Structure 1
């Protein structure tokens, strides 16, 4: 087995730099899509259904892109063509979604908005999976913790800026209110900027990262090129049959943690508007609702900032304590953060809740992939990462169905959905104890 070279910090940085822009766009989507869809005519009871469009597309996209990227070797590389293509499609969706009202002569604004949500999230899924596999491809095992920690740092740096952007633009004087049925300029320009940054950052990764050719890659992973080729063309059901047990164990943790995150993304704006600003369920055009919407962006930026800071030290925690303890402890702090939101009615104190959620988010973005990567065959890295990412989208679909039922049982009071999220995150923390892997590994 030929020893795979260690990469410098800046090479690792370039490897994941595009994820900064992708997460910039993803954060804008998470913080503002419920607000946009509500403006276009959706009510809190139907929001989970609209949000289910995105993970439903991811259910198909993730494993397909994973398998295709395993078998793609061309001038751009193995993973880069999909990262590049997904970024272009996501940018188009971001430019068009907040302008849904301009297309009402051809299609109802709410349906156009839902279509663009599908385009955006589907495209984000196309880029997410190859980025995960790219780190595992390019780094030796002793740098895996660092690679995913740097990726988490970049993801959350992008999310901080993306989440806060409508608030910042409002502060500098861009209009934060609009006629009924139209999206405020602060949100529209945020999506324009977000799409542009997404595309530029992905260009940086694609053109600054040189992926290994098949023969060299196989040697670094302890295989021959022929063995690598056989792995790449293994049938889908054969791959499922040989799936490592740790993947199933992590899937249970993912089920509860992503169930919770989906509830946060869908219901935070309604929950904060009702619980802190005292708005009514249907009062989505008021200045209070729009102010609450901007503040949700700040809260999302806060949890992303906490995640970015924790990511800078996560490699040390994972090396010293082990990946499992780091992962489980972070999820527990996230659960407590969600539960504390029920007790807080001061908008500024909610930032403290977001610190715990941010630490959990950082671990969710890094630890399961670090634990999993060393159990996967080199020729099927993308396929397995794609399948594993189904553990991200399936919980969201389930959360959408259950969330639509629960919000009605809670009389439209969305704060209780965040309490449910807290309980689920605590369960996820407990389930980490059953994962076989993630031992301490010295760099």
Structure 2
């Protein structure tokens, strides 16, 4: 049974497609929320723990680069395909597949450190990393589309933000309070439960879902792929935002050590600086969680930002400012504490907007075809793959060209963000965004 069986149904009214959203049962809503927690939980456990493990196993630098490129390459090719296939065949098969891949990767990983033969452990580590990294990224498309299948756009945005905040905080607490092995296994168990929840439901619903998917597949064959006006503006903004997040999270603890004057891991101040940086990340995870609860007050007609475009533009600007502050934090104490404040208070809020607002914008566009929700969600999520690829392939040479100064990667990401913001402003002037139905006082459901 596909959990989106009571998702959007496409009907026609006056020759135009009209999407209705039948009320989903509680089991579907619960399963959708558990599933959407998995990507953030997986990223938050892997970022601080996977790289030390690979270094401990003495994986060569050339193979480390391959590890980081696997997921972006897969994402560019598969995100739209997974989205389109989930439109036709339901979200559940893909959530089960990638969820189980994540469980395998997270479970095998801590066992590798105990393997005596490092020559055996290294390729297994790369496979485990690939399973976990690819699955966490690929889960974003079907889980986010599933949330919009069973909730209205405002509710989906808020619940995705809150659930993501809980997942991130839970994973960060596991990293700090548990041993590496225990942290991986606890998160793997949570991912298994979230994946297994996809099996909730009644057998009689499966027949109705099969009929609905057949109808949607027939209807989909008659419809061209349509991108809403302004889609590529938000795509560029999201790409810039993800590049900032990827670069920031990949280098932050080491950059902070540089700020504290400990450029080498052999320096006496390196470990204390890394612990301080980790403390800031933990505090930021609580802000990330809190921001999910008031995200609806930041974007949309009733929010501080009057629409999602403005909110996303502002979030990229905040991320750019945070990266600049981190680059300059070593100059004086004012910039130092400004950088710390932005990392703890501003970056998590901008991250929430980046992760959720584009999908809410998509749902509110005139003529949005919900039978193509997975496809468009997948196209949006290629921004994550592009950003990861840039970070993996280009940040190393940039740092090397700057004499090993890690903040150079932040400076490069800042320049990219500035160029994207300028380009999007020009595109906005040339092609104004279409007003959404809610702005016109309409109701598309």
Query: Structure 2 length as normaliser, TM-score?
Result: 0.78
Q: What is the CA-CA distance between 1:425 and the residue it aligns to? A: 4.2
Q: What is the CA-CA distance between 1:154 and the residue it aligns to? A: 0.8
Residue of structure 2 in register with 1:153 after alignment: 162
SS at match of 1:278: coil
Residue of structure 1 in register with 2:299 after alignment: 318
SS at match of 1:190: helix
C-alpha distance in 2, partners of 1:329/1:414?
A: 26
Residue of structure 1 in register with 2:433 after alignment: 436
Residue of structure 2 in register with 1:401 after alignment: 393
Residue of structure 1 in register with 2:280 after alignment: 299
1:352 pairs with 2:341: yes
Comparing 417-426 with 143-152, greater Cα deviation is found at 417-426
C-alpha distance in 1, partners of 2:284/2:207?
A: 36
C-alpha distance in 1, partners of 2:275/2:268?
A: 11
Task: Give the counterpart of 2:98 among 86, 94, 98.
Answer: 86
1:90-119: CA deviation from partner (whole Å, max 9, x where unpaired): 011112224434446373544433322211
1:290-310: CA deviation from partner (whole Å, max 9, x where unpaired): 555555444333333222222
The alignment yields a C-alpha RMSD, in angstroms, of 3.6
Q: What is the CA-CA distance between 1:364 and the residue it aligns to? A: 0.9
Runs of 5+ unmatched residues, structure 1:
73-77, 170-185, 219-224
Residue of structure 2 in register with 1:230 after alignment: 218
Q: 1:79 to 1:383 in 2, by over 3 A?
A: same
1:339 pairs with 2:313: no
1:128 pairs with 2:116: no
Q: 1:3 to 1:60 in 2, by over 3 A?
A: closer
- The alignment of Structure 1 onto Structure 2 pairs a total of residues equal to 405
1:28 pairs with 2:45: yes
Q: What is the CA-CA distance between 1:254 and the residue it aligns to? A: 2.4
Q: What is the CA-CA distance between 1:271 and the residue it aligns to? A: 1.7
1:190-222: CA deviation from partner (whole Å, max 9, x where unpaired): 11111111222333465279899459968xxxx
1:97 pairs with 2:109: yes
C-alpha distance in 2, partners of 1:290/1:193?
A: 26
Task: State whether residues 100 and 109 of structure 1, in contact with CA within 8 Å, keep that contact through their aligned partners in structure 2.
Answer: yes
SS at match of 2:322: helix
Task: Give the counterpart of 2:85 among 68, 84, 95.
Answer: 68
1:257 pairs with 2:241: yes
C-alpha distance in 2, partners of 1:134/1:91?
A: 20
Q: What is the CA-CA distance between 1:362 and the residue it aligns to? A: 0.2
Q: What is the CA-CA distance between 1:278 and the residue it aligns to? A: 0.9
Structure of greater relative contact order (alpha carbons < 8 Å, 6+ residues apart): 1
Task: State whether residues 101 and 135 of structure 2, in contact with CA within 8 Å, keep that contact through their aligned partners in structure 1.
Answer: yes
SS at match of 1:193: helix
Residue of structure 1 in register with 2:6 after alignment: none
Q: 1:305 to 1:54 in 2, by over 3 A?
A: same
Residue of structure 2 in register with 1:144 after alignment: 153
Runs of 5+ unmatched residues, structure 2:
1-10, 12-18
C-alpha distance in 1, partners of 2:275/2:101?
A: 26
Q: 1:163 to 1:112 in 2, by over 3 A?
A: same
C-alpha distance in 2, partners of 1:192/1:160?
A: 16
1:162 pairs with 2:171: yes
Comparing 196-205 with 37-46, greater Cα deviation is found at 37-46
Q: 1:30 to 1:417 in 2, by over 3 A?
A: same
1:370 pairs with 2:379: no
Q: What is the CA-CA distance between 1:424 and the residue it aligns to? A: 3.8
Task: State whether residues 238 and 312 of structure 2, in contact with CA within 8 Å, keep that contact through their aligned partners in structure 1.
Answer: no
C-alpha distance in 2, partners of 1:148/1:158?
A: 15
Q: 1:151 to 1:135 in 2, by over 3 A?
A: same
Q: 1:203 to 1:353 in 2, by over 3 A?
A: same
